[in-house]
């Protein structure tokens, strides 16, 4: 468990006031009462603060912050970031459609992912996106072919795999050899020379992304060195790279982790770029989790307390379909009652109603709770709702955005009819 000395994940926007948990100026018990549970609530100020740290870190440079929207793709959140000047990193045609629906600019969109379809490429080309982050030689050929057919040159960057250990969970580490992402460091120069010869393509940059929930600066600095070495080798062949994209991956506080602040990290990276003569290049970054993760909480009601012989269970109304990270990655989310009670704590496994033993939200948590109490599951702004499903025909939860004392409903709670709208009965 996180030590009591470590700050509440989501602080200062998530905080105790008048004896209960608040998100900005709103009491969480009140939110649960008004909107029902399970409910996801996001602090607008927390998201803008997180973005602000990157903007501060990159102030005075040519830079584009492309929010990796797979972390949380709610339209209102995209709109908030678009209004704050963000571009977007998309990984599907669906995500590009969301950006455009939310008022984002296509020319600030970069398109990542190992499996883009021809149709997705064509749509993105016609929309006029800023760059395709290409992940294989085969994809380079297909993109060239699509571009020639559509009659537009496709701006491309190659995602290179710098073979750096991000020192994170194996499922979210992406920069090592033997992983499906990117083009190997060794093959990169030849791949650039080849890309430069394809008529449908315009080489514009280089990119990398070494993993997620990175809490140390070392892997970033190593990556920067490896990428700059490559840039020198590539440019020696006569290809010019207008932008350098360092990906995303910065971690957040789930259980007391203390990742570097984005501005502090960028001060170090910029010092390195300046020292090596690359400080004036156009820089692109793709942060996801670090912009939204600590801004969100999930409110869930305790349905039953079920004592057991070896374990006690606290059964709540949120489940792995709403919040899949514990089931998927054994991830830890801090959990506490929104209105603390006095009395002795009991150690519970906090579990959902889904018919799977893997449906748990927290293990061995000391809680003083009764049925009907509302719990806050913290640091749930990233990779929770976005990874959710309708398993067990559970409705997707409602989502709200908190702005000071104001609350905006940004996603209505789903109904069963919403769920089966696309299904067709037999004649």
Ligand X SMILES: *Cc1c(COP(=O)(O)O)cnc(C)c1O
Give the one residue of 98, 281, 289, 333 binding ligand X; rule: CB under 6 A: 289
Give the one residue of 205, 288, 324, 381 binding ligand X; rule: CB under 6 A: 288
Give the one residue of 200, 247, 352, 381 binding ligand X; rule: CB under 6 A: 247
Buried b (16+ CB within 10 A) or exposed e, 174-190: bbbeeeebbbebebbbe
Beta bridge mates, 398: 39
Q: Which residue has the tokens 């973005």?
A: 51
Give yes or no: 86 in active site: no
Decide if residue 296 touches ligand X (CB under 6 A). Answer: no
Joined tokens for residue 17: 């006031």
Which residues 150-209 are close enough to bind ligand X by CB under 6 A? 209
Helix or strand holding residue 55 (H, E): helix 44-57
Name the catalytic one among 131, 208, 298, 355.
Answer: 355
Joined tokens for residue 12: 């200062």
Give the one residue of 120, 286, 336, 399 binding ligand X; rule: CB under 6 A: 286
Question: How many residues line the site for ligand X (CB under 6 A)?
Answer: 16
Least distance in Å: CB of 101 to ligand X?
21
Query: Comparing C-alpha atoms, which of 159, 86, 94, 156 is closest to residue 123?
Result: 94
What's phi and psi for 364, nearest 5 deg?
A: 50, 60
**Whole-number Å distance between alpha carbons of 99 and 75:** 8
11-19, 29-37, 287-295, 338-346 -> range binding ligand X (CB under 6 A): 287-295
Least distance in Å: CB of 15 to ligand X?
25
Give the one residue of 37, 215, 290, 321 binding ligand X; rule: CB under 6 A: 290
Pair 10, 378: CB distance under 8 Å: yes
Least distance in Å: CB of 366 to ligand X?
30
Cβ distance to ligand X smaller for residue 9 or 352: 9
Pair 325, 361: CB distance under 8 Å: no
DSSP string, 147-166: HHHHT-PEEEEEEEE-----
Which residues 57-96 are close enough to bind ligand X by CB under 6 A? 68, 70-71, 89
Least distance in Å: CB of 81 to ligand X?
13
Which residues 407-426 are close enough to bind ligand X by CB under 6 A? none
Q: Are strands 154-161 and 201-207 parallel, antiparallel or unpaired?
A: parallel
In a 13 Å sphere around the CA of 52, the CA atoms on its Cβ side amount to 6
Joined tokens for residue 136: 């294989």
Cβ distance to ligand X smaller for residue 22 or 289: 289
Least distance in Å: CB of 48 to ligand X?
17
Least distance in Å: CB of 394 to ligand X?
25
Task: Measure CA of the first residue to CA of the last residue in the chain; give whole Å.
Answer: 55
Cβ distance to ligand X smaller for residue 70 or 98: 70
Catalytic residue positions?
355
Per CB under 6 A, residues contacting ligand X are 68, 70-71, 89, 112, 209, 212, 247-250, 286-290
């Amino acid at each position: 468990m996180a030590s009591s000395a470590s700050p509440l994940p989501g602080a200062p926007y998530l905080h105790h006031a008048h004896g209960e948990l608040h998100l900005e100026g709103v009491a969480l018990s009140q939110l649960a009462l008004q909107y029902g549970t399970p409910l996801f609530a996001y602090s607008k100020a927390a998201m803008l603060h997180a973005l602000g740290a990157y903007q501060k870190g990159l102030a005075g440079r040519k830079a584009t912050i492309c929010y990796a929207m797979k972390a949380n793709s709610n339209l209102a959140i995209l709109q908030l970031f678009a209004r704050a000047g963000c571009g977007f990193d998309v990984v599907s045609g669906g995500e590009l459609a969301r950006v455009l629906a939310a008022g984002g600019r296509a020319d600030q969109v970069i398109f990542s992912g190992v499996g883009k379809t021809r149709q997705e490429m064509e749509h993105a080309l016609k929309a006029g996106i800023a760059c395709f982050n290409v992940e294989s030689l085969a994809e380079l050929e297909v993109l060239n072919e699509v571009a020639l057919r559509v009659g537009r040159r496709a701006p491309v960057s190659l995602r290179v795999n710098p073979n750096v250990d991000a020192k994170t969970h194996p499922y979210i580490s992406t920069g090592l050899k033997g992983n499906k992402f990117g083009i190997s460091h060794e093959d990169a120069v030849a791949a650039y020379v080849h890309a430069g010869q394809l008529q449908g393509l315009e080489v514009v940059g280089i990119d990398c992304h070494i993993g997620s929930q990175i809490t140390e600066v070392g892997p970033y600095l190593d990556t920067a060195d490896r990428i700059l070495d490559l840039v020198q080798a590539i440019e020696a062949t006569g290809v010019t790279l207008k932008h350098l994209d360092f990906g995303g991956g910065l971690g957040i506080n789930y259980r007391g982790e203390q990742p570097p602040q984005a501005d502090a990290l960028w001060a170090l990276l910029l010092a390195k770029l300046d020292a090596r003569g690359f400080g004036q290049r156009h820089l692109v970054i793709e942060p996801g989790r670090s912009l939204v993760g600590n801004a969100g909480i999930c409110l869930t009601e305790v349905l039953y307390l079920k004592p057991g012989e070896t374990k006690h269970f606290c059964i709540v109304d949120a489940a792995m379909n709403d919040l899949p990270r514990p089931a998927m990655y054994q991830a830890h989310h801090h959990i506490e009652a929104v209105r603390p009670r006095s009395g002795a704590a009991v150690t519970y496994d906090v579990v959902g109603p889904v018919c799977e033993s893997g449906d748990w939200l927290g293990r061995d948590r000391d809680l003083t709770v009764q049925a009907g109490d509302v719990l806050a599951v913290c640091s749930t702004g990233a990779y929770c709702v976005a990874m959710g499903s309708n398993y067990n025909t559970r409705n997707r939860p409602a989502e709200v955005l908190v702005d000071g004392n104001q609350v905006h409903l940004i996603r209505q709670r789903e109904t069963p009819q919403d769920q089966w709208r696309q299904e067709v009965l037999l004649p």
